[in-house]
Structure 1
Amino acid sequence: MLLPPLVEITLAVALLAFTAMMLGLLVSALVRKEEVTMPLLVLLAIVQVVFCGALLKLHGVPGVEQLAWLVPSRWALGAMAGTIGLGRIVPGELTADPLFRHSAGVWLLDMGALVALSVVFGYAVARLLRRHEPAIMRK
């Protein structure tokens, strides 16, 4: 739509990787014991798969659709699906999602949502790590 398809998909995957890294850092900053981190990350990976929009119809389902807005894989899949025009290639109920539409505006919305999630996760990580610093380091 805006760039060659390979570049758009590469940007979506790279931004998804960065956002997922920020989410992992957030989980790491939230927990106090290392033993808790791995099960939470596995749970988050499962949530990413379930709420990306490839397995379940999310559009038009109250509550579930709004919850899926917090899942980075939803926005990345939307950007990649829009790039390749998934709705035309595989018509159906799942691909009729407005976030999968083949348009520049939707692609920019998907990528912007990933950037926004990265910023929010990064800010939360910074605030959580700040509370672990000794008081002398804060000055």
Structure 2
Amino acid sequence: MRLSVQPEAFDPGAEANCFAAGASGAGAIVTFTGLVRNSAAGDLLAMQIEHYPGMTETAIAAMMDQAQARWSLIDALVIHRHGRLLPGDVIMMVATAAAHRAEAFAAAEFLMDYLKSRAPFWKCEITPAGAHWVAAKDSDEAALTRW
């Protein structure tokens, strides 16, 4: 399993190919790539993502371990960026490999839901009107109840 919390941009296609090449014995690989979404008004200038180094990696690694045990994953990958990102930038990627597709999909969704709701990242949206911290959404919290 590999985890990276980084400021640098990455190529999701290259990461997916590398992940697949190392997933010996997998019958299914699921990948998800998240992008910085513009605001409903279309005025997002940038998103600043903050985290506490060490704490963030430890928390995400624990959830990756839980996913691996629960769904018997062959491998998993989480990459999440921090720093200043622009609309359309790749912000994160999750990949899971398992013997069967149901396990790979479930584990990927579990990890994505966790990253959205529980991973210790703080997001600040910057618009022409100023900057504001993004609050947790009830829908994101509700998504965790299925796990």
Please, what TM-score do these two structures have when normalized by structure 1? 0.31
Relative to its length, the structure with more strand (as a share) is 2
State the structure with more CA Rg.
1
Please, what TM-score do these two structures have when normalized by structure 2? 0.30
Relative to its length, the structure with more helix (as a share) is 1
